[in-house]
A and B are shown apart, each in its own frame.
Chain A
Amino acid sequence: MITLSDIRLTYPSADGPALDGLSLSVDQGEFVSVVGASGCGKSSLLNVVAGLDRPERGSVEVEGDIALIFQDPALYPWLTATDNVALALHDKPMRRRERRAEASELLRLVGLSEAGDKRPHELSGGMRQRVAIARALARGANVLLMDEPFSALDAITRDALHGELSTLWKERGLTVLFVTHNVREAVTLGQRVVLMGGRPGRIERVWNVDAGYPRDSASDAVHHLEREITESLRLLMDGVSA
């Protein structure tokens, strides 16, 4: 569960606050997407939730264990997929063999049972991102903060990962705050879609997505809402540049 109330955050070198008057709450087990133009403070929002940036005003409450997942999966190139995940279990009182077994199990969960012995450079971008998710789960994370995790991937891989992330979220009861600039992705994944405006970053509007899971990103319901949100986003951006 995440509760942000009336957050203001200013970076030391910036001329104005990055976030101001921002309030948002995400329920336990909820999937919330955040969309907005580049530089509107989406990443700052995640940093505040993760405790990496301290807001000067407002309060942050998080229940659960957080993991951040970025566009760059930041795997260690000298370790195999299994060892990358097993490293996340370093502080568990387990033998090396048990860690590797648990890592293999988590890789199976993200659909990588065959790729355990491969090193990151032998994996595709989508597979690397799955390893990163498995590694987050190995840390015992139940709150995933995802910052454009799939934006470097091709459309087909991204669709596949959307399906798998939705499944994983439901099965494991994860709480997910998912930041993206891709409106269709936000609508395909989220139970709610939050539109952020920039300078300073704040929440403009929130939509509930009624369609059930698994969702088809090409379906009418997704497409309709996507158009509506894109239109709002465009108005917001025109307002900023005018």
Chain B
Amino acid sequence: MASVHRVRKSLAVLWPFVAGTAAVVLIWQIIVWMKLKPTSEIPSPGMVLDALRGLWNDGVMLGAMWNSLHRGVFGFFLSIIIATPLGLLVALVKPVRAFVRPILSALQQLPSVSWVPISIVLFGTSSTTVYAIILLGAVPSIANSLVSGIDLVPPSHIRAARMLGLRGVRSVRRVILPAAMPGYLTGLEQGWAFAWRSLMAAELIATTGDLGSGLGNILTEGRNSQNMSLMLAGVALVLACGLLVEKAGFAPLRKRILSTRGLAVA
């Protein structure tokens, strides 16, 4: 009974997504049927599917997805490790805040892709370049959100911590960080978005050297061979990876954090 219920529930969640995708594919197919452009410019859904099948049969698909996801996720965790103590320092130590917060805010609005040429000159087309770009994109965003999250901790929480005799590291670990968690989570999601975008940009620009091939390289290869189907197949894979991280990583985390606090309907 319970499993029937669960299947029905996940169907109820899934069907709008399936229907939406089907609608997009249908409109796309209709446009192809109208022959506004040759299929070398607007390929049909079937041709893109063929390109995907080709990538699968050549054994390229999983390798490229793995390379990109692996780089993205590793860069993202590196960003978390750097941004979290940085955000804490900026939020809790006044002089650090005064000096570092404006720099973080400036960096946050600067597209990290603009560092790619400099990075390539400094580090060549290596994974160092890729990680430098990811860090420059994700770290300011995560750190800034943590600072805002901490600024929004209700004063009653801080007062209660003082009354409970919680001070220093213990009050940060037991009260301030958990209280800032919803804001921090938003920062992580935003940080991942920055990391993933930065990675794609870096993979598009830095294509030679000792980098194993990722999704960006599929796009580049499609461009070099004027193969629109291959490029669209690459876009579909980038999209799929993004959805995978959101649905398997962030969605359950968000649900858990919000529902334990009574902030979301489970």
Instruction: For the complex formed, measure the closest distance between the CB of B153 and the CB atoms of chain A, giving whole angstroms.
Output: 11
Number of residues from B at the complex interface, CB < 8 A: 18
Which of the residues A76, A78, A90, A135 comes within 8 Å of B170, measured between beta carbons? A90
- In whole angstroms, what is the CA distance A72 to B261 when docked? 16
Instruction: For the complex formed, measure the closest distance between the CB of A51 and the CB atoms of chain B, giving whole angstroms.
Output: 11
Which residues of the other chain, B, contact A72 by a CB distance below 8 angstroms?
Answer: 156
- In whole angstroms, what is the CA distance A78 to B184 when docked? 14
Q: Is B106 an interface residue (CB 8 A)?
A: no
Contact B163 A68 (CB under 8 A): yes
Q: Is A192 an interface residue (CB 8 A)?
A: no
Which residues of the other chain, B, contact A119 by a CB distance below 8 angstroms?
Answer: 260-262
- In whole angstroms, what is the CA distance A80 to B165 when docked? 19
Instruction: For the complex formed, measure the closest distance between the CB of A85 and the CB atoms of chain B, giving whole angstroms.
Output: 10
Q: Is B18 an interface residue (CB 8 A)?
A: no
Question: Which secondary structure dominates chain A's binding surface?
Answer: loop
Q: A76-B157, A78-B181, A78-B261 are in contact. Are A87 and B174 (CB under 8 A)?
A: yes
Chain B 155-188 residues near chain A, CB threshold 8 A: 156-157, 159-160, 163-166, 170, 174-175, 178-179, 181
Which residues of the other chain, A, contact B262 by a CB distance below 8 angstroms?
Answer: 77, 119-122
Which residues of the other chain, B, contact A122 by a CB distance below 8 angstroms?
Answer: 262
Contact B260 A139 (CB under 8 A): no
Q: Is A91 an interface residue (CB 8 A)?
A: yes
Instruction: For the complex formed, measure the closest distance between the CB of A3 and the CB atoms of chain B, giving whole angstroms.
Output: 22
Contact B164 A87 (CB under 8 A): yes
Chain A 104-140 residues near chain B, CB threshold 8 A: 119-122, 135, 139
Instruction: For the complex formed, measure the closest distance between the CB of A67 and the CB atoms of chain B, giving whole angstroms.
Output: 7
Contact A76 B175 (CB under 8 A): yes
Which of the residues B163, B174, B257 comes within 8 Å of A90, measured between beta carbons? B174
Which residues of the other chain, A, contact B260 by a CB distance below 8 angstroms?
Answer: 77-78, 119
Instruction: For the complex formed, measure the closest distance between the CB of B254 and the CB atoms of chain A, giving whole angstroms.
Output: 14
- In whole angstroms, what is the CA distance A154 to B32 when docked? 67
Which of the residues B164, B181, B261 comes within 8 Å of A139, measured between beta carbons? B164
- In whole angstroms, what is the CA distance A83 to B156 when docked? 18
Question: Which secondary structure dominates chain B's binding surface?
Answer: helix
Instruction: For the complex formed, measure the closest distance between the CB of A209 and the CB atoms of chain B, giving whole angstroms.
Output: 29
Which of the residues B159, B166, B170, B257 comes within 8 Å of A74, measured between beta carbons? B159
Residue of A nearest to B164 (CB): A88
Contact A90 B175 (CB under 8 A): no
Contact A74 B261 (CB under 8 A): no
Which residues of the other chain, A, contact B257 by a CB distance below 8 angstroms?
Answer: 78
Which residues of the other chain, A, contact B179 by a CB distance below 8 angstroms?
Answer: 76, 78
Contact A139 B165 (CB under 8 A): yes
Instruction: For the complex formed, measure the closest distance between the CB of A50 and the CB atoms of chain B, giving whole angstroms.
Output: 9
Contact A76 B156 (CB under 8 A): no
Chain A 152-203 residues near chain B, CB threshold 8 A: none
- In whole angstroms, what is the CA distance A139 to B162 when docked? 12
Which residues of the other chain, A, contact B159 by a CB distance below 8 angstroms?
Answer: 74
- In whole angstroms, what is the CA distance A74 to B262 when docked? 15
Which residues of the other chain, B, contact A88 by a CB distance below 8 angstroms?
Answer: 164
Which residues of the other chain, B, contact A75 by a CB distance below 8 angstroms?
Answer: 160
Contact B156 A74 (CB under 8 A): yes
Q: A68-B163, A139-B165 are in contact. Are A77 and B174 (CB under 8 A)?
A: no
Chain B 189-248 residues near chain A, CB threshold 8 A: none
- In whole angstroms, what is the CA distance A231 to B164 when docked? 40
Q: A119-B262, A121-B261, A121-B262 are in contact. Are A78 and B178 (CB under 8 A)?
A: yes
- In whole angstroms, what is the CA distance A103 to B160 when docked? 17
Interface pairs (25), CB distance under 8 Å: A67-B163, A68-B163, A72-B156, A74-B159, A75-B160, A76-B157, A76-B178, A77-B261, A77-B262, A78-B178, A78-B179, A78-B181, A78-B261, A87-B164, A87-B166, A90-B164, A90-B166, A90-B170, A90-B174, A91-B165, A119-B260, A119-B261, A121-B261, A122-B262, A135-B164
